[in-house]
Structure 1
C-alpha cells in the first residue's frame, strides 16, 4: 500500500454531503420500499409464496434504508447535525435500531477495528488461536455456537435487532437512554396501529419476513467485510488506523443492482478510512484514489469462503477454520525447527 500517510487527505474532498443527493436517495429508497410492502400485503390474498417476491425485494430496500440510518449516525448524510439526528432516528424506527446507542457502539467499532487489545464493542466476537486453546470448555462451546452460520445469520438478527437494541447499554447518558425509549415507543405504536388496521397475522407475515431477510443480509455484510483470509489484526502497540481501514475492511465487489440495494457499503475500506464520506460518494472516492484500488477485494463467490473462517492466526496473520488449528500449529512448529541452528 503506497501513500499510506496521505490517503485520508486524498479522500477528504469526498466527505461533503450534498442535500439534493441525500433527499433523492431517501425518495428512491423509501418510495419503493413502501410500495413493495403494500404489494406484498395485497399478494397475501392470493398466496404467501407470491408475496415472497415483493418481500425479498423490499428486504433489499430496507437494507438500503439502514445505510441511510448508518450514514446519519456518522453525521455524514446531511450537513446539519439536527437533520442527521431527525432522519437517523426515523430510519432507526424502520430498521429497529436506536440512533444514539448504535451510533456510540459503531463509533467505537471504527476506532478499534482490528485492534486485538480493544475488542468487544460494536464488532463480531473473534478469538485468536491461542485464546481459543487457552479458553475453558464452556467458552469454546459458546464460541462455536456463536460462530455457527445458522446462529449468526438467522438467530442473530432476532437477538440483536429485536432484543438487544431495545435495552440501553451500561453507563449510557440520559440523551442516549431517552432516544432508545423514544424509538421503542414509536416502534410499539406502529406495530399496534398496523396490526389493528391490517390484521396482526398479515402484518407479521409481511414485516416479519422482510425483517428476517434484511437482517440476515445486514449481518452478512458486516461479517464478510471484516472476516476474510488476509484481514488485519494487531496488538495495540502495532495497530494503525489507516492500515486497519484499508487492509482490515474489504472491497466487496457486487453486481450493480446489489450495490444499489446495499448503499455502496461494499466500498467498506473507503468508509472505514473516512466515515464522513456519504454512501453515494464512496464509489467515486474509490475510483479516484489509486491506492484504494489495491485493497483486499472479494466477490459474491469468493466471499462464501469466509464462512469457514473462525479464528485469527496471529503467527501467520490469517483467518483459519477450527480444523486449521492443527495445521497452524504444525506450520509454526516446522518454522521453529527450521530456525534452529545446526549443531
Structure 2
C-alpha cells in the first residue's frame, strides 16, 4: 500500500476564510436561540395545564440543545482561528459564543490544540475520557476496574455533560480562589511564626490551576473570571425573567444534553475499532489525522448543527480550514481517504467498548 503524503492532498483552495459567511453563521445561530427563549417565556406564562406546557416545551428543549451544540462547534472554529479572517474577530466571537454555554473559550481552545498536536499518540493524549493502558487497567483492583468500566459507560455522558458545562468552569474558579487564599494564609502564618513581620505585605503565592485546561496563566485566569461574572449575571437575569427553579432546571437540562452530544461525537471520532493508537516513537501526525479520526455518515441537518465537524480527517489534517469549506475539501480529497474510518449513527454504541489502550500492540481494545 502506497504511503500518502500531506502534499498529495488539495488543501490550499479551501483555506480561504469569509467574514460574510462567518457572520451569517453567527447570526443564524444566535437569533434562533433568542427566539426560542422568547417562545419558552410565552409557553410557561400561558394559562394552560402543566401537562400541556410540558408537552409544548419538548420541541424547545430539542432545538435549544441542537443550537447549543452548534454554538459550541462555532466556538471551536474560533479557537482554531478558522471562522473569521482576523484573529481578533475569532477571539471576540469565540468569547461571546463561550458565554452561551458558560465555558471559557480560550482555555478550552488551548487544551483542544494539545489534542490536535498529539492526535493518535496515545502515550501522550488518551482521549476525552483519559483511557487507561492495558497495563494500568490490569494493575487496578477488581473494585477499581468495575468503577472504571461504569465511569466510561455511555450513560455517563449525561452527568459528565452536566459537569463539563454547568459545574466545571464555576468549580474551577472556586478552587483557584480557595488554593490562593490557603497559600496566602499559610505564607502569612509562617512569617508570623518566624517573626518576619516586615515581609507580611510581600505576597509570594501564585494562582495555581486546579485543572489542566483552566487558569494556566493570567490571560486564561482573567477570561475564566470574566466568563463566570457575565454567565452568573446572565443566569440571574434569566432566573428573574423565567423563575429561578424553572430556568436553572431547564437550562441545565439543555446544557447537559448538548454536552452529552458533543462528548459523544468527540469520543466516537477517536475511539473505535482499529483506530490509530501509537506510542510516541512510532507516531506520525499525518497518520494520526487520517487513520486516527473517524468521519461521520450522519444526516445533513445534524451536520449543520455540528458545523460539519463530521468531516474529521480533513479537519485534523488542517484545522485552519473553515467549517464552511470542510465538506468541499473532504469531497475533493475523498480518493485519499479510503483508509479512513467512516461511521454511521448505528455504529456509535459499539465505539464505547474501546476504552482500553493496548500499548504493546498499539491499538484500542474493547472492554466487554
Residue by residue, what CA displacement relative to the aligned partner does 1:83-131 show, whole Å, maximum 9, x if unpaired?
Answer: 11110001001112102211111011111122122136x7321123233
SS in 1 for 2:364: strand
More displaced 10-residue stretch of structure 1: 140-149 or 259-268 = 140-149
Residues 164, 142 of structure 1: CA spacing in aligned structure 2 closer, same or farther, 3 A cutoff?
farther
More displaced 10-residue stretch of structure 1: 307-316 or 93-102 = 307-316
Residues 177, 10 of structure 1: CA spacing in aligned structure 2 closer, same or farther, 3 A cutoff?
same
Structure 1 unmatched runs, 5+: 324-343
Q: Report the Cα distance in structure 1 between the residues aligned to 2:103 and 2:298, rounded to whole angstroms.
A: 25
1:23-62 matches, cutoff 5 A:
23-44=23-44, 45=46, 46-62=52-68
More displaced 10-residue stretch of structure 1: 198-207 or 220-229 = 198-207
Per-residue deviation at 1:210? 1.5
Q: Which residue of the partner structure matches residue 108 of structure 1?
A: 114
Whether the aligned pair in 2 keeps the contact of 1:65 and 1:91 (CA below 8 Å) is yes
Whether the aligned pair in 1 keeps the contact of 2:70 and 2:305 (CA below 8 Å) is yes
CA RMSD for the aligned pairs? 2.1
Alignment equivalent of 2:350, drawn from 305, 312, 318:
305
Structure 2 unmatched runs, 5+: 47-51, 173-208
1:286-301 matches, cutoff 5 A:
286-289=330-333, 290-292=335-337, 294-301=339-346
Q: Which residue of the partner structure matches residue 123 of structure 2?
A: 117
Q: Which residue of the partner structure matches residue 155 of structure 2?
A: 150
Per-residue deviation at 1:41? 3.4
Alignment equivalent of 1:173, drawn from 210, 217, 236:
217
Residues 109, 83 of structure 1: CA spacing in aligned structure 2 closer, same or farther, 3 A cutoff?
same
Q: Which residue of the partner structure matches residue 364 of structure 2?
A: 319
Per-residue deviation at 1:49? 2.5
Per-residue deviation at 1:314? 4.4
Whether the aligned pair in 2 keeps the contact of 1:12 and 1:274 (CA below 8 Å) is no
The TM-score normalised by the length of structure 1 is 0.87
Whether the aligned pair in 2 keeps the contact of 1:96 and 1:161 (CA below 8 Å) is yes
Q: Which residue of the partner structure matches residue 186 of structure 1?
A: 230
Whether the aligned pair in 1 keeps the contact of 2:9 and 2:336 (CA below 8 Å) is no
Q: Report the Cα distance in structure 1 between the residues aligned to 2:141 and 2:26, rounded to whole angstroms.
A: 48
Residue by residue, what CA displacement relative to the aligned partner does 1:287-333 show, whole Å, maximum 9, x if unpaired?
Answer: 0113135411000112221122222344665433323xxxxxxxxxx
* Number of equivalent positions: 321
User: Which is higher, the Rg of structure 1 or of structure 2?
Assistant: 2
SS in 2 for 1:43: helix
1:230-245 matches, cutoff 5 A:
230-245=274-289
Q: Report the Cα distance in structure 2 between the residues aligned to 1:77 and 1:135, rounded to whole angstroms.
A: 44
